[in-house]
Chain A
Amino acid sequence: MEQRCALMLPNDEILTEAGFDSTEKSARLLLIACGALAHEILALKRANGWDHMTLTCLPAKLHLYPDKITQAVAEAVEKHRKDFDEIFIVYADCGTGGLLQAKCDELGVKMVEGPHCYSFFEGNDAFASRADSGEITAFYLTDFLVKQFDAFVWKPMGLDRHPELRDMIFGNYTKLVYQAQTNDPKLIEKARECAARLDLDFEYRFTGYGDLATTLGAQAASDAT
């Protein structure tokens, strides 16, 4: 399921379909992550000089079948654990209904807190607070999902073949919130187009890396000591 590509980050199609493995055996800490987070994790790694950390990504499209995530993560842990001092799972619950957390506990590895990446990018507390104050009709996209909108949303939901399904699927949503990790005018424009295609209002919300940065920072620090 993972794809080896040691030198550079592959394109988003490969991150979606096949995943990515850049593991350097010299590193002590392995991050097993969702392919949708590869860009952000490597950006944080570069910016912070976390050279003792390396990354393998599972295909981002596992998110279309959340019941497969737990097993895929478990297999990756078993495959790599002999080569690293520590493994950290860069998935939140991601629709596994607590099963991923239970599996991580069983395997003795830690994972990111929170229900999903929309929450930890915004900050779990801030996201929960928005939900409590009534933001329940928002459909969220991150940088990766804006870039991969057709592969992740439009085609899997059948809207390329059956546009009449749009209102059955998205009729209860009122707005598309683009949670931006980077400031990219082209992505903002594309996200706005995505909202129009779904017939939703558009909101741009810069989140940066949110809790992902603090979580990985804490993990990097604890592993370095």
Chain B
Amino acid sequence: MSDEEDDIILSELDDEELVQQMFDDLYDGLKEEIEEAVNILLERKWEPYRILTEALVGGMTIVGKDFRDGILFVPEVLLAANAMKGGMFILKPLLAETGAPRVGKMVIGTVKGDIHDIGKNLVSMMMEGAGFEVVDLGINNPVENYLEALETEKPDILGMSALLTTTMPYMKVVIDTLVEQGKRDDYVVLVGGAPLNEEFGKAIGADAYCRDAAVAVETAKDFMSRKHNQGATG
């Protein structure tokens, strides 16, 4: 893909071609090109939310799928994420101004004893791209951090991440504490991380295990839609 980049002048592409080119540029992790394309679409009076969903999230979904299928690997996904971040940085203030729809709110963090945050950061970014407000607690979070954030932020979803076999059981500590305090049913709890699996998610009492960022977004949207439906019928 990148051999062709030199000859392409983004501003000369029509909208459809430009979005397609943004998919390619996200795939190749070309941050500056993504920033330029976002600005071009803004000049063409595209709504920020439309740029986010159709171009950036659309492109990252392809990246996510190819990661899942073993075509892309961690470095390429990180470069793509970095390029998307560049576009998001331009769009974020504009999204707030233009009153983009908010699907729900999520508090997310890596559990105590664990400093790995690549997966968590990808989930945060993709969730934001999908219209969720995300409060990211960072790494190495004891149960107190989660409880405090749940109290102050009042999210719909709690997300927990772990990369280590030794730290993943801490997710159960958090969930058990929520149960003890009678707060467990106030939140959808999603968990993820390389050593986790569906069985583990069920065993610790999470609502779902999400194998990657794209699945996390789909699962979160699904839970939010169920919540709204319950609200409508209840």
Contact = CB atoms under 8 A, between A and B. Distances in A.
A79 interface: no
B76 interface: yes
Secondary structure at the A interface, as helix, strand, loop or mixed, is loop
A79 B216 CA distance: 38
Given A97-B196, A169-B118, A128 B79 contact: no
Contacts of A159: 75
Given A66-B195, A93-B165, A99-B197, A136 B115 contact: yes
A115 B168 CA distance: 11
Name which of B29, B194, B195, B200 has the most chain A CB atoms within 10 A of its CB: B195
Contact of B140 (A96, A136, A157, A173): A136
Contacts of B133: none
B74 A66 contact: no
Interface string A40-60: 000000000000000000000
A196 interface: no
A156 B73 contact: yes
Interface residues of A, number: 26
Contacts of A168: 78, 82, 118
B139 A172 contact: yes
Contact of B165 (A98, A157, A162): A98
Interface of B: 29, 73-76, 78-79, 82, 113-118, 139-140, 164-166, 168, 194-197, 200
Contact of B195 (A96, A128, A161, A162): A96
Contacts of B113: 131, 136
A42 to B, nearest CB: 27
A99 B29 CA distance: 34
Contacts of A119: 166
B165 A165 contact: no
A115 B76 contact: no
A33 B79 CA distance: 34
Contact of A97 (B73, B78, B115, B195): B195
B73 A158 contact: yes
Given A98-B165, A98-B200, A165 B115 contact: no
Contacts of A116: 165
A137 interface: yes
A165 B73 CA distance: 13
A173 B115 contact: yes
Interface in A129-178: 131, 136-137, 156-159, 161-162, 165, 168-169, 172-173
Given A95-B165, A97-B200, A162-B75, A172 B115 contact: yes
A158 B114 CA distance: 23
B194 A158 contact: no
A165 B195 contact: no
Contacts of A165: 75, 78-79
A92 B164 CA distance: 13
A172 B195 contact: no
